[in-house]
């Protein structure tokens, strides 16, 4: 039974970030051991995922991109069913037919993961239109990358959402990379948020590695969307600490830039902040980390022990 994850205190956000980090690092380790198909993971971007999702309501809808595990787990997805999906097992969220790149969890309001870069932008805009036409209260939240922002579909979608006054929050996770290309090579600005004014859309850039700052900015942004039924663009400035996909030796990455961003690791940042302020005790933290590792062990075992889909299910639940 899937339940939307609730966030009432800073420790809830830290636990969610730790779960995402542990899940993705385990996926990468399994991949390296040749036990699993390659996936795009979001190590370094956990604060952006958790900060945004923590500020949403239960009836809000999420559409996301190929780096979606953090968004799904932050919303409450079960790591076992996620892992099973990646392994192509019947118990996965989409019956083993989506892998990591198309995963959706209807019960949690996660409508889809798009592996077409920018694909989620126009689809989310359409979902926002349908929310309004059906008189539904939930707003739409669309995660996309800086690479997607350079595509025409971003500009068409945000323009239409502005003209049609659609209830949608666009969340650009600017992680500085677009597969193997640095964003410096594809845009003439450091701030994607600066483009929104041209479409009459309000926007803000937030430190995407500070989960509390992201949550606060998202709460303000969603209040704006709900109050005005107009779109808003939130840009989370962050960094992809690992490769585009696993495995990736990151030989194309400037080591100095990578090292600088490593010092801003959002998970370590939050841990240090809470330990320093006395909100969290080192022993309690160790206990939480052990429990999360156990949860991941259970997830892996569940996925490995699950059956593959039957041959006669080959054409069910897919377009044929």
Ligand X SMILES: Cc1ncc(C[n+]2csc(CCOP(=O)(O)OP(=O)(O)O)c2C)c(N)n1
Closest CA to 320 of 114, 97, 104, 117: 97
* Binding flag, residue 146, Mg ion (CB under 5 A): yes
Q: Scanning residues 176 to 235, which ones bind ligand X (CB under 6 A)?
A: 177-179
**H helix or E strand, kind and range, residue 259:** helix 255-262
Q: Is 250 in the site for ligand X (CB under 6 A)?
A: no
What DSSP character marks residue 198?
A: G
The CB-of-14 to ligand X minimum distance in angstroms stands at 23
Which sign, positive or negative, has the C-alpha torsion 204, 208, 212, 218? positive
Closest residue by Cα to residue 261 from 243, 228, 239:
239
Which one, 145 or 231, has the nearer CB to Mg ion? 145
- 117 makes contact with ligand X (CB under 6 A): yes
Q: Is residue 68 a contact residue for ligand X (CB under 6 A)? A: no
Choose the one of Mg ion, ligand X, none that binds residue 154, judging by a C-beta under 5 to 8 angstroms depending on kind.
none
| Site residue total, ligand X (CB under 6 A) | 14
Which listed option, ligand X, Mg ion, none, makes contact with residue 148 (CB within 5 to 8 Å by class)?
ligand X
Interacting residues with Mg ion between 164 and 193 (CB under 5 A): 175, 177
Between 8 and 47, how does the x/- string for binding to ligand X read (CB under 6 A)? ----------------------------------------
**Helices 10-32 and 79-86, interaxial angle, to 10°?**
30
What is the layout of strands, in order, in the sheet containing 232-237?
110-114, 61-65, 140-145, 168-174, 232-237, 202-207
Hey, how many other C-beta atoms are within 10 angstroms of the C-beta on 49? Answer: 32
The Cα 173–Cα 78 span in angstroms is 23
Q: Among residues 70, 145, 208, 243, which is the contact residue for Mg ion, using CB under 5 A? A: 145
Q: Write out the binding residues for ligand X, residues 132-161 only, by CB under 6 A.
A: 145-148
What secondary structure does DSSP assign to 81-101, as a single string?
HHHHHHTT-TTSTTTTSSTTT
- As given in the structure block, the two tokens for residue 90 are 């019947």
**DSSP 8-state code for residue 4:** P
Q: Is 67 in the site for ligand X (CB under 6 A)?
A: yes
Closer CB to Mg ion, 185 or 312, in the complex: 185
- Interface with ligand X, residue 54, by CB under 6 A: no
Residues that bind Mg ion (CB under 5 A): 145-147, 175, 177
Residues that bind ligand X (CB under 6 A): 66-67, 115-117, 145-148, 175, 177-179, 240
């Amino acid at each position: 039974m899937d339940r939307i994850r609730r966030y009432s205190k800073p420790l809830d956000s830290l636990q969610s970030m730790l779960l995402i980090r542990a899940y993705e690092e385990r996926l990468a380790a399994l991949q390296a051991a040749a036990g699993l198909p390659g996936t795009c993971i979001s190590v370094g971007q956990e604060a952006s995922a958790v900060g945004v999702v923590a500020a949403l309501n239960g009836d809000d809808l999420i559409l996301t991109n190929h780096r979606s595990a953090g968004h799904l787990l932050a919303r409450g997805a079960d790591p076992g069913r996620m892992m099973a999906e990646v392994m192509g097992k019947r118990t996965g969220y989409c019956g083993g037919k989506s892998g990591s790149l198309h995963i959706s969890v209807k019960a949690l309001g996660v409508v889809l993961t798009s592996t077409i870069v920018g694909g989620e932008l126009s689809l989310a805009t359409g979902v926002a239109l349908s929310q309004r036409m059906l008189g539904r209260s939930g707003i739409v939240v669309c995660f996309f990358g800086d690479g997607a922002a350079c595509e025409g579909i971003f500009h068409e979608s945000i323009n239409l959402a502005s003209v049609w006054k659609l209830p949608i929050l666009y969340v650009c996770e600017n992680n500085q990379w677009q597969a193997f290309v640095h964003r410096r090579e594809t845009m003439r600005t450091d701030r994607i948020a600066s483009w929104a004014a041209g479409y009459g859309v309000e926007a803000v850039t937030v430190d995407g590695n500070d989960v509390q700052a992201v949550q606060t900015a998202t709460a303000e942004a969603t209040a704006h969307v709900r109050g005005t039924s107009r779109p808003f663009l939130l840009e989370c400035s962050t960094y992809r600490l690992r490769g585009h996909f696993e495995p990736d030796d990151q030989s194309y990455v400037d080591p100095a830039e990578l090292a600088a961003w490593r010092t801003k690791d959002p998970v370590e940042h939050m841990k240090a902040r809470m330990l320093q302020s006395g909100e969290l005790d080192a022993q309690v933290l160790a206990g939480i980390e052990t429990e999360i590792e156990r949860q991941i062990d259970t997830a892996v075992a569940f996925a490995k022990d699950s059956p593959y889909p039957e041959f006669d299910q080959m054409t069910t639940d897919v377009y044929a």
